[in-house]
Amino acid sequence: MAAKLRMIMRKHQARNRANRLSLAGCAFLGFSVMAPLSAKANQSPDVVNCYDAKRDHVQIVLRSDCVGEVVSDERAEAIKQRRIERIREKLENQSKPLAPGKRLVSIGTGFFVAPGGVVLTNNHVVASCPQVSVTTTAGQRLEATIQATSPAFDLALLKTKLESKVHATFARKNDQLTDLPIVLVGYPNQGIAPIKPLLTPGRTLQRYQVSRLGVMVPIRADVRKGNSGGPVIDESGRVIGVITAKIDTVSTFKQTGKVVRDVGYAVSNSVVLGFLENNQVTVTTADVSKKNSETELFDGAKPYIVRVGCWQ
């Protein structure tokens, strides 16, 4: 431990020398040095347990690098154990069968669109599912019932007793949102099914397309299984479509000789909002507002995102 602290102090001194050199026209990037929580921060007055309340996370850093609250070793350990217990409870909840004899066979994404536990997703996410679950980002999981479907447009409405104080806001039906930055928020498969939502950046392509699913929004993004049924969100935080498919790179190459990667498709709002109206679901729409960072978009979407599970 003494050797680790000496290393941290040497790096800190080196950074101070670098900052002095930057006055001569050289730019240097700042950094923070972390150590395992098992280390004792009180062994040096310059190394502390820094608590980030927003993330509920503690790391050991130099006092000058702490953006948060400095806490004792005892409190740091208590916070660490609390996080471990919370993660354990979430994992146990995710793995419990929804009903005796049932197993989780696939997952997709959905999102709250109106009060009363109304969730929108893809029809193919819940088709042929004897039981459907929705799990919030807070880890709450309950059974959902299928209220309405449109196989033609690959859309489905679910109803659950889970409530959300935050619901998606949509772009208006006829807004043309081509060649713009977007993000996907959902549960893309990363080799294993995630229990927390992930953000995928992307961009809408230059023109909409018409297919058997109606008007489609082509996007350039790393769309994966599990993203299905999730929202496509513009920089204003508005939903502009629902992810439904990804281009088949191999089939496209066989048919055209072109290698096309990372192109997905979303059902456009002209179709989505019509489906919701036909099922008496009133949603919020908005005009373009300020541009948000990816972090702001992710934080804004997480409260209304859910993981949709298919149980057989």
Using the CB atoms, write b or e for 21-49: b if 16+ within 10 Å: eeeeeeeeeeeebebebebebeebeebbb
Whether 16 shows a pLDDT value over 50: the answer reads no
Phi, psi of 124 (to 5 degrees): -70, -15
Whether 2 shows a pLDDT value over 50: the answer reads no
Looking at 14-23, 92-101, 202-211, which range is the least confident one?
14-23
Hey, where are the domains in the chain? 2-93, 100-312
> Quick count: other Cβ atoms within 10 Å of Cβ 153?
21
pLDDT of residue 243: 96
Looking at 119-123, 206-210, 270-274, which range is the least confident one?
206-210
DSSP-based three-state secondary structure for 101: coil
pLDDT of residue 204: 93
DSSP-based three-state secondary structure for 106: strand
The DSSP code sequence of 262-302 is: SEEEEEEHHHHHHHHHHTT---EEE-------HHHHHHHHG
Query: The pTM is what?
Result: 0.68
Q: For residue 236, give both structure tokens.
A: 């204003």
DSSP-based three-state secondary structure for 111: strand
Length reported for the chain: 312
pLDDT in tens, 130-152: 999 999 999 899 999 999 999 99
pLDDT of residue 54: 78
E strand map for 87-151: 104-114, 118-121, 131-136, 141-150
Could you give the percent of the chain with pLDDT greater than 70?
74
Query: What band does 292 get if pLDDT is binned at 50, 70 and 90?
Result: very high
**What's the CATH architecture for 100-312?**
Beta Barrel (2.40)
Whether 116 shows a pLDDT value over 90: the answer reads yes
Nearest Cα to Cα of residue 117 among 86, 94, 140: 140
289 CB contacts (<8 Å, ≥6 apart)?
236, 237
Across the range 248-260, mean pLDDT stands at 52
pLDDT in tens, 154-205: 999 999 999 899 999 999 987 777 889 999 999 998 777 788 999 999 999 8
Distance CA 184, CA 204 (A): 11
Amino acid at 37: L
Higher model confidence: residue 24 or residue 285?
285
